A and B are shown apart, each in its own frame.
Chain A
Amino acid sequence: MSEKSFFLSSSIGKKIAMGLTGLFLISFLIVHVSVNSCIFINDGGITFNTAAHFMATNPIIRIIELGLFAGLILHIIFALLLTIENKKARPVGYQKINGSANSNWYSRSMGILGSLLLIFLVVHLAHFWIDTKIAVFTGKADEHNTFNEMKKVFSVWYIVALYLIGVGSLLFHILHGFQSAFQTLGLNHKKYTPIIKKTGLWFSIIVCLLFASMPVAIFAELIK
């Protein structure tokens, strides 16, 4: 007779937790890139600041933000647990590995790409999120101008370079992660899997191109 082990302690349970939190974080990217794309209207940041103000002060968004952090933390915790188990599963490594013969480099580098993303995220939150939080809690949300802050941050070339590295890591992380999440959730189908893979590819490229063009456009003073 089978005794059920705790779902999240099993290998498949942890994988599914990774997939679900990953897809949740991907859904956040859609909101983030949409709001930020308001800067391309090039109206001196009026539309963008309105959208940013809404995102910073709306109570429903505030609650979802807590969920977002919870999702991020769970994604990181499960990644660490899985990575530790995976390292233990091969105590003696190979001397010669021809990985490119059977898989993509970025599918094998999710841990490194994710770590780069985490470092980028800390810098990114320090640039924008903390200031906005302070403004909201001190009742100065109405005076807070995120657009001006963006212009200030992206006037330094090495910050722009850092953001491009961050977005590059994101590109390859979700290039694998998007379709991988569906496979983990058991959604593999001869007809739909190619569509999922194509959607993941174009989603990754479009989102990351939009994100990358923001610091570049501001640095090049195309947006005023």
Chain B
Amino acid sequence: MSQGNMNLTLKVWKQKNKNEKGRFETFDAKGISPDMSFLEMFDVVNERLISSGKEPIAFDHDCREGICGMCSMYINGRPHGPKQGVTTCQLHMRSFKDGDTIVVEPWRSAAFPVIKDLAVNRSSFDRIIASGGFVSVNTGNAKDANNILIPKHDADDAFNAAACIGCGACVAACKNSSAMLFVSAKVSQLALLPQGQFEKKERVLNMVKQMDEEGFGNCTNTGACEAECPKSISLENIARMNREYLKASFS
């Protein structure tokens, strides 16, 4: 064990499948380097579990560079752990202290059923995206880049909304399990651009309808989603979605 390594205790949610009742189990994480990411720490723990013949802890991960939205984990009472604007793969063990006990839970939402342990099924998000439908574009030769002029601040707002990686931290952080931040980002990124105007009304009506059908809760504007979003998606998007929904409902 090298200098500065940490010994931690993990209290992790273990659940066989979506139908079985889960429970917390305690694991030792000894000799953890502060330079590891939180997921690498889980890799080390899992390697040790496997080599001692035990079942490893199931958790979601993919790109490990904060852009795919796969890693979840509700760490010590916050989605993606104690740092702001990062995913779990970008969270380093130096954010914890030697001897800490870390509680790790899956995203908790009726719309995100647990697959196993810390892995949840987020296909409700995919169905919301699918309900938004298509965007009509002309095919054929590539158009001149400046064919459709877009004001700078609209382009910026659309890009900021499009930064959403669909990880579900907003739902996990919200006391009501509301998916408003996610849906509003997806509605906004197209509603702000000229290319998204044709199907604008249908899109917001269908996406909100699908969101409600999936069993997400309702927004009470606590702002927890915005604070916990790894991509810092703004609450302005929720207000924009409400406006779009009002306009589409009464016209």
Please report A residues at the B interface, Cβ cutoff 8 Å.
1-2, 4-5, 7, 10-16, 82, 85-86, 88-99, 101-104, 107-108, 110, 176, 179-180, 183-188, 190
Contacts and interface: CB of A to CB of B under 8 A. Distances in A.
Interface string B71-106: 000101110001000000000000000000001010
Contacts of B236: 188, 190
Nearest to B22: A92
A28 to B, nearest CB: 22
B4 interface: no
A95 B235 CA distance: 27
A104 B110 contact: no
A99 B220 contact: no
B105 A104 contact: no
B209 interface: yes
Most chain A CB inside 10 Å of its own CB: which residue of B205, B242, B250: B242
Contact of B221 (A1, A94, A101, A180): A180
Contact of B208 (A12, A92, A187): A12
B202 interface: yes
B218 A188 contact: no
B241 interface: yes
Given A101-B78, A183-B238, A108 B218 contact: no
Nearest to B21: A92
Given A95-B11, A103-B224, A180-B220, 13 more contacts: A4-B205, A11-B212, A12-B208, A85-B218, A89-B176, A95-B105, A98-B76, A101-B82, A183-B242, A184-B239, A186-B240, A186-B242, A188-B240
Majority SS of interface residues in chain B? mixed
A195 B67 CA distance: 35
B218 A11 contact: yes
B213 to A, nearest CB: 9
Given A2-B205, A89-B176, A184-B221, A10 B110 contact: no
Contacts of A99: 77, 175, 224
B243 interface: yes
Contacts of A185: 242, 246
B110 A90 contact: yes
Nearest to A92: B108
A102 B224 contact: yes
B223 A103 contact: yes
B91 to A, nearest CB: 14
B249 A94 contact: no
Contacts of B78: 98, 101-102
B217 A101 contact: no
B175 A10 contact: no
A82 B103 CA distance: 30
Interface of B: 11, 22, 24, 74, 76-78, 82, 103, 105, 108-111, 173, 175-178, 180, 201-202, 205-206, 208-209, 211-212, 215-224, 227-228, 235-236, 238-243, 245-246, 249-250
17 contacts: A5-B209, A11-B180, A11-B212, A11-B218, A12-B208, A82-B218, A90-B108, A90-B217, A92-B108, A98-B76, A98-B77, A99-B77, A99-B175, A103-B224, A108-B175, A108-B220, A179-B221
Nearest to B243: A186
Contacts of B235: 183, 188
B220 A107 contact: yes
A102 B173 contact: yes
A121 B105 CA distance: 40
Contact of B219 (A2, A11, A93, A102): A11
Contacts of A94: 74, 77, 105, 108
Contacts of B238: 183, 188
Nearest to B217: A89
A135 to B, nearest CB: 40
A11 B76 contact: no
B182 to A, nearest CB: 13
Given A2-B205, A12-B242, A94-B105, A85 B77 contact: no
Nearest to A104: B222
Contacts of A104: 222-223
Contact of B202 (A2, A96, A110): A2
B179 to A, nearest CB: 9
Nearest to B77: A98
Contact of A183 (B82, B173, B239): B239
